[in-house]
Structure 1
Amino acid sequence: ETAFVDDAVRGGATYHYRVEGADGEDTAVVGYASAVTYPRPDAPPAAAIASAAGSPPAGRANVAIIPAPTPLPPDALLLGLMSDASYTDAFDTLYVVGEVRNDSNLDVGDIHVTVSFYDAAGTFIGETTGRTMLKTLSPGERSPFLLRLARPVGMSNYSIKAVGRPVPSYLRPQIVLVESRAFEDEAGFYHVAGTVKNTGSVSVPRVRVVVTLYGRDGGVVNVGFDDLSPVPLHPGELAPFDVTFTYFPKILRHAIAITGE
């Protein structure tokens, strides 16, 4: 294991390092690190900057290496993040929801949404990756996303990046919304329910209705979906849906998207 001890530092200060590796005559960044020094050996640890176990002596900094970000593929396209939100349920499960937009002039698919987590000092502590609800986005089209995971220990904030790749245009299944309604039931759950219809000429093996809830500021507050039955949905057939939410703070409106494949 490679280690580095910096003796030329002052106590009670924060230092940032860039780690490079040699490959023949070339060098490349392989990681970044942050470290804090303390005025005296018995000083309490500074909040949330990770270092080796125990407090380092004054004037020395133990450095924890953070891997450098993986370069994007040459054909990767960054999607615009329109809004996001997060909440934690009673089981300490973290939900990160939001909406991205295809700002390119190409159809984009193979979309990955990556959420990176940081502690109170801004130190990277982990990440998770998921997919957008809509698999392919036309130019200007939006898609919500929903990522669910155990809340990372020490998490203070996070960042979001959505990346896709150009894909060929294709003819989407002709599933249309017939009617919908929104209501809160006696148990306190919020529902967006309704009916869809296959107006096309081919059967659709899988149909999903995605509902995005927006708050008073226009941002996403929650995302839900319902995979419909019967399947396949044959031409002319109707199918009901009911997307249920337990978390719906101060919602102003909702949007419904239908996907089929």
Structure 2
Amino acid sequence: MIFSVFTPKKPFITVPDASEWNHDETAAYLYYCANETVHGIEFPSAPESPHGVPLVADISSNFMSREFDFKNHGVVFGGTQKNLGAAGLTVVFVRRDLIGHEQPITPAVFSYKEMVANNSLYNTPPCGGIYITNLVLKWIKAKGGVPAIAASNKAKSDLIYNMINNSNGFYHCAVDPKYQSRMNIPFRVGGPTGDDNLEAEFLKGAAERNMISLKGHRSVGGIRASLYNAISLEETQILADWMQEFQKLKQN
């Protein structure tokens, strides 16, 4: 049985306090998404494991973006498409004592026991994706490893959050500062609810400056800056400069 938790209400701008979670003592594990990309919510550290059950973490969108503590985790997995390469490859870490406990109906291709027995080669692996990920890992190492990447990501996100926080409300990020993502920064232009015309102008000007994919997810709208590992501080500065320029243009 999955560990059930408190179901948050819209707008999704924070992680509910653990005291509000609906603890289930018969649960087998606690699953959480380390970084939620649509609303820009990130766990700064792993949640507490109740009753000693193992944690299961999806780290697809902040994989290798900062140091990660594997303590109390049973399974950690992440798609490589954000920070480690191309889509189509997922890296999975499984605690040894949990291997072999799959349900009898689990297809062999989804069985960790079979994967381990076959050295992760039970079926034909996505060779192209593995090759690209190998190159990215070498790039990360050359940059100084995860600590250096984490420092860069903090500098990038601090730059944009500071622009938002110092805009006197022209830019607005509703996410609880305690859980603001370093990878995905959603914000509105023109106030808490946003101004459609201003946001359309902002996106148009961004495109003219060779910045694309800044439009927020279709379910929430607004603007969303995704600052994955490959985005440099210099590129992030271009966005910050445009934010400053656009605010001055519209408030003069």
TM range (shorter): under 0.3
* TM-score using structure 2 length: 0.20
Higher strand fraction: Structure 1 or Structure 2?
1
Q: Relative CO higher for 1 or 2, CA cutoff 8 Å, sep ≥ 6? A: 2
* TM-score using structure 1 length: 0.20
Higher helix fraction: Structure 1 or Structure 2?
2
